[in-house]
Amino acid sequence: MNYEHILIRYAELSLKGKNRKKFESKLEQNIKQALITFPNVKTNRSFGRMFVELHGEDEKAVSEKLKGVFGVYSFSPALKLSLTETNIVDGALWAMKDALPSGSGSFKVTVRRVNKDFPIGSQDMNKVVGGYVLRNMQDLTVDVHQPEVELKVEIRQEAAYVTCKSVRGAGGLPVGTSGKVMLMLSGGIDSPVAGYLALKRGVTIEAIHFHSPPYTNDRARQKVEDIAKVLTQYGGDIKLHIVPFTDIQTKIHKQIPDNYEMTVTRRFMLRIAAVLAEERKAKGIVNGESLGQVASQTLESMYTINEVTNLPILRPLITMDKLEVIDYAKAIGTYDLSILPYEDCCTIFLPAESKTRPTREKSERYEHWLAIDDMVQQAIDGITTVDLKLGEASQPDFEQLF
Protein backbone atom coordinates (compact mmCIF):
# COMPACT_ATOMS: atom_id res chain seq x y z
CA MET A 1 0.00 0.00 0.00
CA ASN A 2 1.06 3.59 -0.53
CA TYR A 3 -0.42 7.06 -0.21
CA GLU A 4 -1.77 7.75 -3.65
CA HIS A 5 -3.81 10.84 -2.82
CA ILE A 6 -3.46 14.12 -1.04
CA LEU A 7 -6.62 15.60 0.37
CA ILE A 8 -6.65 19.42 0.28
CA ARG A 9 -8.67 21.63 2.64
CA TYR A 10 -9.43 25.26 1.92
CA ALA A 11 -11.54 26.50 4.80
CA GLU A 12 -11.76 30.20 4.08
CA LEU A 13 -12.96 29.62 0.56
CA SER A 14 -16.08 27.82 1.61
CA LEU A 15 -17.30 31.09 3.13
CA LYS A 16 -17.35 32.84 -0.20
CA GLY A 17 -20.84 31.93 -1.38
CA LYS A 18 -21.36 32.56 -5.05
CA ASN A 19 -17.69 33.22 -5.71
CA ARG A 20 -16.85 29.79 -4.53
CA LYS A 21 -16.73 28.16 -7.96
CA LYS A 22 -14.30 30.74 -9.22
CA PHE A 23 -12.13 30.36 -6.14
CA GLU A 24 -12.07 26.61 -6.39
CA SER A 25 -11.12 26.54 -10.02
CA LYS A 26 -8.40 29.15 -9.47
CA LEU A 27 -7.03 27.12 -6.59
CA GLU A 28 -7.02 23.97 -8.67
CA GLN A 29 -5.27 25.79 -11.50
CA ASN A 30 -2.63 27.18 -9.10
CA ILE A 31 -2.04 23.77 -7.57
CA LYS A 32 -1.54 22.30 -11.03
CA GLN A 33 0.86 25.09 -11.84
CA ALA A 34 2.84 24.56 -8.62
CA LEU A 35 3.06 20.82 -9.35
CA ILE A 36 3.99 21.20 -12.98
CA THR A 37 7.29 19.39 -12.44
CA PHE A 38 5.38 16.23 -11.50
CA PRO A 39 3.97 15.10 -14.85
CA ASN A 40 1.86 12.22 -13.50
CA VAL A 41 0.00 14.22 -10.91
CA LYS A 42 -3.70 14.87 -11.49
CA THR A 43 -6.12 16.97 -9.50
CA ASN A 44 -9.84 16.61 -9.01
CA ARG A 45 -12.61 18.14 -6.95
CA SER A 46 -15.71 16.87 -5.27
CA PHE A 47 -18.07 18.59 -2.83
CA GLY A 48 -15.79 21.16 -1.23
CA ARG A 49 -12.73 18.96 -1.26
CA MET A 50 -9.87 18.76 -3.63
CA PHE A 51 -7.59 15.82 -4.24
CA VAL A 52 -4.19 15.52 -5.75
CA GLU A 53 -3.72 12.07 -7.29
CA LEU A 54 -0.08 11.10 -7.17
CA HIS A 55 0.05 8.27 -9.74
CA GLY A 56 3.45 7.23 -8.48
CA GLU A 57 4.93 10.69 -7.82
CA ASP A 58 6.72 11.12 -4.51
CA GLU A 59 4.30 12.16 -1.79
CA LYS A 60 6.90 14.08 0.22
CA ALA A 61 8.21 16.10 -2.70
CA VAL A 62 4.68 16.99 -3.79
CA SER A 63 3.80 18.00 -0.23
CA GLU A 64 6.74 20.39 -0.12
CA LYS A 65 5.44 22.22 -3.18
CA LEU A 66 1.89 22.30 -1.87
CA LYS A 67 3.03 24.15 1.22
CA GLY A 68 3.67 27.23 -0.89
CA VAL A 69 0.24 27.45 -2.51
CA PHE A 70 -1.99 30.21 -1.14
CA GLY A 71 -5.56 29.16 -0.46
CA VAL A 72 -4.56 25.76 0.91
CA TYR A 73 -5.26 25.64 4.65
CA SER A 74 -4.12 22.14 5.33
CA PHE A 75 -3.66 18.88 3.52
CA SER A 76 -3.34 15.23 4.30
CA PRO A 77 -1.88 12.30 2.46
CA ALA A 78 -4.84 9.98 2.05
CA LEU A 79 -5.60 6.41 1.09
CA LYS A 80 -8.50 6.04 -1.29
CA LEU A 81 -10.27 2.77 -0.64
CA SER A 82 -13.22 1.09 -2.26
CA LEU A 83 -16.27 0.85 -0.05
CA THR A 84 -15.96 -2.45 1.80
CA GLU A 85 -15.43 -2.91 5.49
CA THR A 86 -12.34 -5.10 4.94
CA ASN A 87 -10.70 -2.58 2.64
CA ILE A 88 -11.31 0.23 5.06
CA VAL A 89 -9.93 -1.50 8.16
CA ASP A 90 -6.87 -2.78 6.28
CA GLY A 91 -6.19 0.70 4.97
CA ALA A 92 -6.62 2.20 8.42
CA LEU A 93 -4.13 -0.25 9.87
CA TRP A 94 -1.57 0.45 7.14
CA ALA A 95 -1.89 4.21 7.71
CA MET A 96 -1.47 3.80 11.48
CA LYS A 97 1.68 1.73 11.01
CA ASP A 98 3.01 4.34 8.63
CA ALA A 99 2.29 7.13 11.12
CA LEU A 100 3.75 5.26 14.10
CA PRO A 101 6.58 3.11 12.74
CA SER A 102 7.64 2.09 16.26
CA GLY A 103 4.19 0.60 16.73
CA SER A 104 3.55 2.37 20.01
CA GLY A 105 1.70 5.60 20.76
CA SER A 106 -1.78 6.97 21.30
CA PHE A 107 -4.52 7.48 18.78
CA LYS A 108 -8.12 8.35 18.22
CA VAL A 109 -10.47 7.33 15.41
CA THR A 110 -13.00 9.63 13.80
CA VAL A 111 -15.29 8.18 11.17
CA ARG A 112 -17.49 10.46 9.10
CA ARG A 113 -20.10 8.81 6.95
CA VAL A 114 -21.20 11.24 4.26
CA ASN A 115 -22.51 8.42 2.09
CA LYS A 116 -25.65 7.15 3.80
CA ASP A 117 -25.78 4.13 1.48
CA PHE A 118 -22.81 2.68 3.30
CA PRO A 119 -24.43 0.12 5.65
CA ILE A 120 -22.50 0.82 8.86
CA GLY A 121 -23.11 4.07 10.74
CA SER A 122 -20.34 6.44 11.87
CA GLN A 123 -20.46 5.39 15.53
CA ASP A 124 -20.37 1.68 14.78
CA MET A 125 -17.70 2.12 12.17
CA ASN A 126 -15.61 4.01 14.73
CA LYS A 127 -15.63 0.89 16.91
CA VAL A 128 -14.96 -1.46 14.02
CA VAL A 129 -11.93 0.49 12.83
CA GLY A 130 -10.57 1.26 16.31
CA GLY A 131 -10.97 -2.35 17.42
CA TYR A 132 -9.24 -3.72 14.34
CA VAL A 133 -6.26 -1.39 14.70
CA LEU A 134 -5.95 -2.13 18.44
CA ARG A 135 -6.00 -5.88 17.86
CA ASN A 136 -3.22 -5.58 15.29
CA MET A 137 -0.95 -3.07 17.03
CA GLN A 138 -0.35 -4.25 20.57
CA ASP A 139 1.35 -1.14 22.02
CA LEU A 140 -1.32 1.32 21.02
CA THR A 141 -3.55 3.21 23.45
CA VAL A 142 -6.68 5.25 22.82
CA ASP A 143 -6.58 8.90 23.81
CA VAL A 144 -9.56 10.96 22.71
CA HIS A 145 -8.23 14.25 24.08
CA GLN A 146 -4.61 14.52 22.97
CA PRO A 147 -3.84 11.65 20.65
CA GLU A 148 -0.50 11.48 18.86
CA VAL A 149 -2.30 10.35 15.75
CA GLU A 150 -5.79 11.21 14.67
CA LEU A 151 -6.99 8.51 12.32
CA LYS A 152 -9.73 9.94 10.16
CA VAL A 153 -11.97 7.90 7.93
CA GLU A 154 -14.32 9.68 5.59
CA ILE A 155 -16.85 7.53 3.81
CA ARG A 156 -17.97 9.29 0.67
CA GLN A 157 -19.98 8.41 -2.38
CA GLU A 158 -17.13 7.32 -4.59
CA ALA A 159 -14.74 5.87 -1.99
CA ALA A 160 -13.52 5.96 1.59
CA TYR A 161 -10.55 8.14 2.49
CA VAL A 162 -8.19 7.40 5.35
CA THR A 163 -5.78 10.01 6.69
CA CYS A 164 -3.45 10.09 9.68
CA LYS A 165 -1.81 13.46 9.59
CA SER A 166 -2.60 17.00 8.66
CA VAL A 167 0.02 19.37 7.27
CA ARG A 168 -0.46 23.09 7.60
CA GLY A 169 -0.66 24.98 4.30
CA ALA A 170 0.19 28.59 3.48
CA GLY A 171 -3.38 29.83 4.08
CA GLY A 172 -4.62 33.00 2.45
CA LEU A 173 -6.55 33.09 -0.82
CA PRO A 174 -5.66 31.66 -4.22
CA VAL A 175 -3.55 34.04 -6.26
CA GLY A 176 -5.72 35.45 -9.01
CA THR A 177 -8.96 35.78 -7.06
CA SER A 178 -8.51 39.31 -5.72
CA GLY A 179 -7.55 41.33 -8.79
CA LYS A 180 -4.21 42.81 -9.77
CA VAL A 181 -1.88 45.26 -8.02
CA MET A 182 1.35 47.02 -8.94
CA LEU A 183 4.16 46.20 -6.50
CA MET A 184 6.82 48.87 -6.00
CA LEU A 185 9.83 46.63 -5.83
CA SER A 186 13.17 48.03 -4.68
CA GLY A 187 16.22 45.93 -4.03
CA GLY A 188 15.63 46.25 -0.29
CA ILE A 189 14.40 43.82 2.32
CA ASP A 190 10.90 45.16 2.74
CA SER A 191 9.17 45.37 -0.61
CA PRO A 192 9.60 41.67 -1.54
CA VAL A 193 7.96 40.74 1.75
CA ALA A 194 5.16 43.20 1.03
CA GLY A 195 4.72 41.49 -2.34
CA TYR A 196 4.58 38.07 -0.73
CA LEU A 197 1.93 39.17 1.77
CA ALA A 198 -0.15 40.79 -0.95
CA LEU A 199 0.00 37.57 -2.97
CA LYS A 200 -1.18 35.76 0.12
CA ARG A 201 -4.46 37.66 -0.04
CA GLY A 202 -5.06 36.49 -3.57
CA VAL A 203 -3.91 39.33 -5.80
CA THR A 204 -1.74 38.87 -8.84
CA ILE A 205 1.15 41.29 -9.08
CA GLU A 206 3.16 43.14 -11.64
CA ALA A 207 6.28 44.83 -10.31
CA ILE A 208 7.72 48.27 -11.00
CA HIS A 209 11.32 49.15 -10.29
CA PHE A 210 13.02 52.55 -10.59
CA HIS A 211 16.48 52.35 -11.95
CA SER A 212 19.00 55.19 -12.31
CA PRO A 213 21.90 54.23 -14.53
CA PRO A 214 24.79 54.90 -14.37
CA TYR A 215 24.37 55.57 -10.65
CA THR A 216 22.71 52.21 -10.20
CA ASN A 217 24.37 49.46 -12.18
CA ASP A 218 23.33 46.31 -14.01
CA ARG A 219 23.95 44.16 -11.00
CA ALA A 220 21.45 46.20 -8.99
CA ARG A 221 18.92 45.64 -11.74
CA GLN A 222 19.73 41.94 -11.91
CA LYS A 223 19.27 41.69 -8.17
CA VAL A 224 15.73 43.02 -8.43
CA GLU A 225 15.03 40.57 -11.21
CA ASP A 226 16.29 37.72 -9.04
CA ILE A 227 14.10 38.86 -6.16
CA ALA A 228 11.05 39.00 -8.43
CA LYS A 229 11.87 35.47 -9.62
CA VAL A 230 11.66 34.25 -6.05
CA LEU A 231 8.20 35.80 -5.82
CA THR A 232 7.04 33.86 -8.87
CA GLN A 233 7.10 30.74 -6.71
CA TYR A 234 4.21 32.14 -4.75
CA GLY A 235 2.48 34.17 -7.40
CA GLY A 236 3.13 32.55 -10.75
CA ASP A 237 4.43 34.60 -13.68
CA ILE A 238 5.35 38.21 -12.90
CA LYS A 239 5.97 41.12 -15.24
CA LEU A 240 8.75 43.38 -13.98
CA HIS A 241 8.68 46.92 -15.37
CA ILE A 242 11.98 48.78 -15.18
CA VAL A 243 11.59 52.56 -15.22
CA PRO A 244 14.50 54.81 -16.22
CA PHE A 245 14.64 57.32 -13.40
CA THR A 246 17.94 59.15 -13.82
CA ASP A 247 16.51 62.18 -15.64
CA ILE A 248 13.84 62.78 -13.07
CA GLN A 249 16.26 62.43 -10.20
CA THR A 250 18.71 64.82 -11.83
CA LYS A 251 15.99 67.42 -12.37
CA ILE A 252 14.72 67.06 -8.83
CA HIS A 253 18.25 67.41 -7.52
CA LYS A 254 18.71 70.66 -9.43
CA GLN A 255 15.35 72.25 -8.71
CA ILE A 256 14.14 71.11 -5.33
CA PRO A 257 15.51 72.23 -1.96
CA ASP A 258 17.51 69.49 -0.24
CA ASN A 259 15.06 68.81 2.50
CA TYR A 260 12.21 68.14 0.05
CA GLU A 261 14.17 66.09 -2.44
CA MET A 262 13.17 62.79 -0.94
CA THR A 263 9.50 63.73 -0.66
CA VAL A 264 9.31 64.94 -4.24
CA THR A 265 11.21 61.89 -5.49
CA ARG A 266 8.66 59.67 -3.79
CA ARG A 267 5.80 61.63 -5.24
CA PHE A 268 7.22 61.07 -8.71
CA MET A 269 7.67 57.37 -8.12
CA LEU A 270 4.09 57.12 -7.00
CA ARG A 271 2.77 59.14 -9.93
CA ILE A 272 4.58 56.87 -12.38
CA ALA A 273 3.45 53.73 -10.56
CA ALA A 274 -0.13 55.01 -10.65
CA VAL A 275 -0.06 55.75 -14.39
CA LEU A 276 1.42 52.35 -15.11
CA ALA A 277 -1.10 50.69 -12.80
CA GLU A 278 -3.98 52.27 -14.72
CA GLU A 279 -2.43 51.22 -18.03
CA ARG A 280 -1.98 47.66 -16.83
CA LYS A 281 -5.42 47.56 -15.23
CA ALA A 282 -4.09 47.16 -11.71
CA LYS A 283 -6.47 48.42 -9.06
CA GLY A 284 -3.95 49.33 -6.40
CA ILE A 285 -0.31 49.79 -5.49
CA VAL A 286 1.65 47.78 -2.92
CA ASN A 287 4.77 49.06 -1.22
CA GLY A 288 7.03 48.03 1.64
CA GLU A 289 6.44 50.95 3.96
CA SER A 290 6.30 50.48 7.70
CA LEU A 291 5.06 53.29 9.88
CA GLY A 292 7.84 55.48 11.25
CA GLN A 293 10.66 53.27 9.97
CA VAL A 294 12.45 56.11 8.18
CA ALA A 295 11.81 59.78 7.37
CA SER A 296 9.79 58.96 4.26
CA GLN A 297 7.52 56.66 6.22
CA THR A 298 6.18 58.94 8.91
CA LEU A 299 2.46 59.55 8.82
CA GLU A 300 3.06 63.12 7.63
CA SER A 301 5.28 61.88 4.81
CA MET A 302 2.75 59.31 3.71
CA TYR A 303 0.03 61.94 3.80
CA THR A 304 2.06 64.24 1.59
CA ILE A 305 3.36 61.58 -0.81
CA ASN A 306 0.01 59.86 -1.12
CA GLU A 307 -1.61 63.05 -2.41
CA VAL A 308 -0.60 62.33 -6.00
CA THR A 309 -2.89 59.33 -6.50
CA ASN A 310 -6.34 58.07 -5.61
CA LEU A 311 -5.45 54.44 -6.10
CA PRO A 312 -5.54 52.42 -2.91
CA ILE A 313 -2.04 51.89 -1.57
CA LEU A 314 -1.63 48.61 0.24
CA ARG A 315 1.07 48.53 2.87
CA PRO A 316 1.19 45.01 4.22
CA LEU A 317 4.17 45.82 6.50
CA ILE A 318 2.68 48.96 8.01
CA THR A 319 2.64 47.63 11.59
CA MET A 320 5.73 45.44 11.44
CA ASP A 321 9.08 45.96 13.10
CA LYS A 322 12.17 45.55 10.96
CA LEU A 323 13.05 42.31 12.73
CA GLU A 324 9.69 40.78 11.91
CA VAL A 325 10.14 41.74 8.27
CA ILE A 326 13.61 40.19 8.26
CA ASP A 327 12.20 36.91 9.60
CA TYR A 328 9.72 36.84 6.74
CA ALA A 329 12.37 37.77 4.18
CA LYS A 330 14.53 34.87 5.33
CA ALA A 331 11.64 32.44 5.28
CA ILE A 332 10.43 33.36 1.79
CA GLY A 333 13.94 33.24 0.38
CA THR A 334 14.54 36.90 -0.53
CA TYR A 335 16.76 38.03 2.34
CA ASP A 336 20.12 36.87 1.01
CA LEU A 337 19.44 38.64 -2.27
CA SER A 338 18.19 41.81 -0.61
CA ILE A 339 21.30 42.33 1.46
CA LEU A 340 23.63 42.28 -1.56
CA PRO A 341 25.31 45.68 -1.40
CA TYR A 342 24.31 47.47 -4.61
CA GLU A 343 23.31 51.07 -4.79
CA ASP A 344 19.57 51.81 -4.82
CA CYS A 345 18.26 54.77 -6.76
CA CYS A 346 16.80 56.26 -3.59
CA THR A 347 20.18 56.63 -1.97
CA ILE A 348 21.87 58.58 -4.75
CA PHE A 349 21.88 62.38 -4.52
CA LEU A 350 19.81 62.33 -1.38
CA PRO A 351 20.93 64.60 1.44
CA ALA A 352 21.53 63.07 4.85
CA GLU A 353 18.67 65.03 6.35
CA SER A 354 15.17 64.72 4.93
CA LYS A 355 12.09 66.36 6.28
CA THR A 356 10.12 64.05 8.53
CA ARG A 357 7.08 66.36 8.36
CA PRO A 358 6.84 67.52 4.76
CA THR A 359 3.67 69.34 3.77
CA ARG A 360 1.53 69.06 0.66
CA GLU A 361 1.58 72.81 0.16
CA LYS A 362 5.36 73.08 0.06
CA SER A 363 5.73 70.02 -2.15
CA GLU A 364 3.34 71.54 -4.64
CA ARG A 365 5.04 74.90 -4.52
CA TYR A 366 8.46 73.38 -5.23
CA GLU A 367 7.17 71.04 -7.90
CA HIS A 368 5.67 73.99 -9.71
CA TRP A 369 9.06 74.42 -11.38
CA LEU A 370 8.94 70.99 -12.94
CA ALA A 371 7.10 69.79 -16.06
CA ILE A 372 5.49 67.00 -14.10
CA ASP A 373 3.31 65.39 -16.77
CA ASP A 374 6.07 65.35 -19.37
CA MET A 375 8.54 63.88 -16.94
CA VAL A 376 6.11 61.16 -15.95
CA GLN A 377 5.25 60.38 -19.56
CA GLN A 378 8.89 60.18 -20.58
CA ALA A 379 9.59 57.73 -17.81
CA ILE A 380 6.61 55.63 -18.82
CA ASP A 381 7.74 55.66 -22.45
CA GLY A 382 11.19 54.43 -21.43
CA ILE A 383 9.97 51.39 -19.52
CA THR A 384 11.40 47.99 -20.37
CA THR A 385 9.49 44.94 -19.22
CA VAL A 386 10.90 41.57 -18.24
CA ASP A 387 8.59 38.53 -18.16
CA LEU A 388 9.49 36.29 -15.28
CA LYS A 389 8.17 32.77 -15.29
CA LEU A 390 7.24 30.51 -12.44
CA GLY A 391 9.85 28.03 -11.38
CA GLU A 392 13.00 29.90 -12.31
CA ALA A 393 14.15 30.17 -8.70
CA SER A 394 15.02 27.45 -6.22
CA GLN A 395 12.60 26.10 -3.66
CA PRO A 396 12.41 28.02 -0.35
CA ASP A 397 12.19 26.33 3.03
CA PHE A 398 8.47 26.53 3.73
CA GLU A 399 8.85 25.09 7.23
CA GLN A 400 10.31 28.39 8.36
CA LEU A 401 7.24 30.33 7.34
CA PHE A 402 5.01 29.26 10.16
Interface residue list for ligand ATP (CB under 6 A) = 184-186, 188-191, 208-210, 287-289, 293-294, 296, 344-346
Tell me which amino acid residue 140 is.
L
How many residues sit close enough to Mg ion to count as binding (CB under 5 A)? 2
Q: Where are the alpha helices (DSSP H) in 157-245?
A: 190-200, 218-235
Question: What CA dihedral angle connects 150, 397, 45 and 40, to 10 degrees?
Answer: -110
- Tell whether residue 266 is among the known ligand binding residues: yes
Using alpha carbons, select from 263, 252, 321, 273 the residue that is nearest to residue 293.
321
Q: Is 402 annotated as a binding residue?
A: no
Q: C-alpha distances in angstroms, 401 versus 169, 196, 197, 330, 332?
A: 10, 11, 12, 9, 7
The answer to whether residues 308 and 360 touch, using CB atoms and an 8 Å cutoff, is no
Comparing CB distances to ligand ATP, the nearer of 162 and 317 is 317
Would you call the peptide bond into 214 cis, given omega within 30 degrees of 0 as the criterion? yes
Asked if residue 184 belongs to a known ligand binding site, the reply is yes
Q: Which is nearer to ligand ATP, 171 or 244 (CB)?
A: 244
For position 263 contacting Mg ion by CB under 5 A, the verdict is no
Smallest gap from residue 245 Cβ to ligand ATP (A): 7
Tell me the C-alpha to C-alpha distance, in Å, between residue 144 and each of 149, 161, 290, 304, 320: 10, 20, 45, 58, 39
* Residue 297 labeled ligand binder: yes
Closest CA to 384 of 273, 242, 269: 242
Q: Are 356 and 295 in contact (CB under 8 A)?
A: yes
Binding string, 182-221, against Mg ion, x = CB under 5 A?
----x-x---------------------------------
368 is in an annotated binding site: no
Residue 293 touches which of ligand ATP, Mg ion, none (CB < 5 to 8 A by kind)? ligand ATP
b/e per residue, 253-287, with b = 16+ CB within 10 A?
Answer: beebeeebbbbbbbbbbbbbbbbbbeeeebebbbb
Residue 15 in marked binding region: no
Considering beta carbons, is residue 185 or 274 the nearer one to ligand ATP? Answer: 185
The residue range among 163-171, 179-187, 322-330, 374-382 that interacts with Mg ion, by the rule CB under 5 A, is 179-187
Q: Which is nearer to Mg ion, 186 or 246 (CB)?
A: 186
Least distance in angstroms from the C-beta of 11 to ligand ATP? 31
Nearest distance from C-beta of residue 246 to Mg ion, angstroms: 17
Q: Which is nearer to ligand ATP, 80 or 253 (CB)?
A: 253
In the complex, the smallest distance separating the C-beta of residue 281 from ligand ATP, rounded to whole angstroms, is 20
Q: Tell me the three state secondary structure of residue 335.
A: helix
Annotated binding residues for ATP: 184-185, 209-210, 266, 288, 297
